[in-house]
Structure 1
């Protein structure tokens, strides 16, 4: 079934380079983005990054720290925006802070500025947010960034684990695109060839980063950031998260639902990608070898996830987003099939 309306949301301007944090006030002014500002950030974002933004941004700036990435924090941020008359919301940090900022911007019709400090996710660009609420992880329409500031000096200094998570998240597009095409064939869902190709290119780019980053961390991060941005652009072009989120993401969300805060999102996506590659008939052994060679966990125990949690997550993954058809089908996997899949791929022992 074809949609009557296809809406494409893309950023107005993207800056990628070094020394950009110090120029953020200049970039904001060049696009006519107005004060008052709300800066949404996390507790682990380096003070020097936040202070550099505060010192170089003219006008009133409120700062709000996020810890959980749930609807309660969205409502808290929205209350600040409405009470202070905020015109522009800056998401500074990782996925949680950026998701809160972009969703609050959408709900209040404020401008949104994306300032990632770790290349751990592809939400940098996309007009969608993943939030915790109602006992599950929900993906919601959010505000596309008017401005993205990706300072490679800051991003390349992020912990290696966060960088690896970004690779894992982006490699997952290998599965997402195949799930999307499957849904198109079996359910008549809209499928965009160009958009799918862009997402696949991002995934292949991320795989190359897995080897490049061992030789040259800075150039590896530059390449990864470009892949993350293009993945977000693919979602904007598609008007949905379809090019970037399939059964591998459903697995990641399922684990986080039943065993929260034990692994990074991108780490779980990497595990899900290996298993779903097996189901899709992709060369999962080669994929696992590349990821493992970059230091990305390919066994659940490496990120503190018990075997039974992996199996349980596989059996409920198809229920995370019932409107999204994937290789898992409508009924999902039985416990026996899930255990066999995870064992065969080496994700569990």
Structure 2
């Protein structure tokens, strides 16, 4: 089975990156032609970081706004927000992955616009049309609403835990191996590659490689570069109509790890580390990826993720089962011996 071809997808029409951009929340709604009630999806932490601020700005701009608290990115919380936002004309997702994923998927179900407000640059879902939602105990990537606007306050994001932002950078750099897998699927399985989407995904990764010192320091200027790359990556997925340009074998390994660990690790960290291994298998520049990750302080050894060799290798050898229709360098699965050789050759484990 091969993946479906890409449909036409609407793209984000307004992006604002800088300091104090949340002050323009009401103006953004007016620009988008939205006049009705807004729902602001947050968790208990992001409500205090930015949710209340957005509500105040909207109310000062004569908009009615309700803060909607979620606890998990699962169908129960989606249904909760769907009921509470039944009269809303727009949803803000303020987070963190979970509020943004719930907001964009619920907006898709309600057929209303969605505005993304990241409080950390921890992953590339900020601007994508995909939502990671737990469905019946399993994390699923669901088609969702592409944000009509992204409001990224660099002061707010740069004050987030550094590890979260570094994780986002690692996620973006893993686009390199994801695109390699896409072209491999074209050669082996005849899957169509959307060249523009692929180049956007690679452009995002290359931008970070060129600005490694800014990304390492993670001050507002570096956060701006990272957010631009994250939005490029999200746009690549919107253009492709799937996560294909930013999700290959490295993401399958990350999802496999999540299914095997007692508690999931940071998505971007796992994808970055796994991309070292998949680049090695692809015959690509795995050292360049590893050196970048090491330079910015992202994990390059499994022990830094709290994962032992047995668990990591099990995740690698079982990863192809996560999405059988998504052909990658893992093919129909690689042997334990091959996985161990690659992990030790790349320094993920000591030989």
Q: Give yes or no for TM over 0.5.
A: yes
Q: Which runs of 4+ in 1 moved over 6 A?
A: 1-5
Counterpart for residue 341 of structure 1:
342
Counterpart for residue 329 of structure 2:
327
- After superposition, give the CA deviation of every residue in 1:47-93 in whole Å (9 maximum; x if it has no partner): 142221110113332223333312222222222223xx122111001
- After superposition, give the CA deviation of every residue in 1:100-144 in whole Å (9 maximum; x if it has no partner): 110011111121111111111111111111222234321111011
Counterpart for residue 22 of structure 2:
21
Counterpart for residue 81 of structure 2:
77
Counterpart for residue 68 of structure 1:
72
Q: What is the CA–CA distance in structure 1 between the aligned matches of 2:5 and 2:162, rounded to whole Å?
A: 44
Q: 2:158–2:218: 8 Å Cα contact kept in structure 1?
A: no
Q: Structure 1 stretches of 5 or more lacking a match?
A: none
Q: What is the CA–CA distance in structure 1 between the aligned matches of 2:210 and 2:235, rounded to whole Å?
A: 20
Change in CA separation of 1:47 and 1:127 when aligned onto 2, cut-off 3 Å: same
Segment of structure 1 superposing worse, 253-262 or 13-22: 253-262
Counterpart for residue 313 of structure 1:
315
Q: What is the CA–CA distance in structure 2 between the aligned matches of 1:198 and 1:175, rounded to whole Å?
A: 14
Report the alpha carbon displacement of residue 2 of structure 1 after superposing the two structures with TM: 10
- After superposition, give the CA deviation of every residue in 1:181-223 in whole Å (9 maximum; x if it has no partner): 1111111111022221111111111223432234562211111
- After superposition, give the CA deviation of every residue in 1:255-313 in whole Å (9 maximum; x if it has no partner): 11221534211000111111101101112123212211211111122122232221111
Q: What is the CA–CA distance in structure 2 between the aligned matches of 1:46 and 1:204, rounded to whole Å?
A: 34
Report the alpha carbon displacement of residue 17 of structure 1 after superposing the two structures with TM: 1.7
5 Å-filtered alignment, 1:29-68, equals: 29-45=30-46, 47-58=48-59, 59-68=63-72
Report the alpha carbon displacement of residue 7 of structure 1 after superposing the two structures with TM: 0.8
Change in CA separation of 1:162 and 1:46 when aligned onto 2, cut-off 3 Å: farther
Of 232, 235, 241 in structure 2, the residue corresponding to residue 233 of structure 1 is: 235
Segment of structure 1 superposing worse, 305-314 or 35-44: 35-44
Q: 2:208–2:215: 8 Å Cα contact kept in structure 1?
A: no
TM-score scaled by structure 1? 0.93
Segment of structure 1 superposing worse, 94-103 or 53-62: 53-62
Counterpart for residue 113 of structure 1:
115
Report the alpha carbon displacement of residue 4 of structure 1 after superposing the two structures with TM: 7.5
Task: Find the residue that maps to 2:39 and give its secondary structure.
Answer: strand
The answer on 1:6 being equivalent to 2:7 is yes
Task: Find the residue that maps to 1:189 and give its secondary structure.
Answer: coil
- After superposition, give the CA deviation of every residue in 1:5-61 in whole Å (9 maximum; x if it has no partner): 731220121112211112212211221224322211123326142221110113332
Counterpart for residue 272 of structure 2:
270
Change in CA separation of 1:37 and 1:270 when aligned onto 2, cut-off 3 Å: same
Change in CA separation of 1:339 and 1:136 when aligned onto 2, cut-off 3 Å: farther
The answer on 1:251 being equivalent to 2:290 is no
Counterpart for residue 164 of structure 2:
162
Q: Structure 2 stretches of 5 or more lacking a match?
A: none
Q: What is the CA–CA distance in structure 2 between the aligned matches of 1:64 and 1:216, rounded to whole Å?
A: 30
Q: 1:35–1:61: 8 Å Cα contact kept in structure 2?
A: no
Change in CA separation of 1:50 and 1:309 when aligned onto 2, cut-off 3 Å: same
Task: Find the residue that maps to 2:191 and give its secondary structure.
Answer: coil
Task: Find the residue that maps to 2:150 and give its secondary structure.
Answer: strand
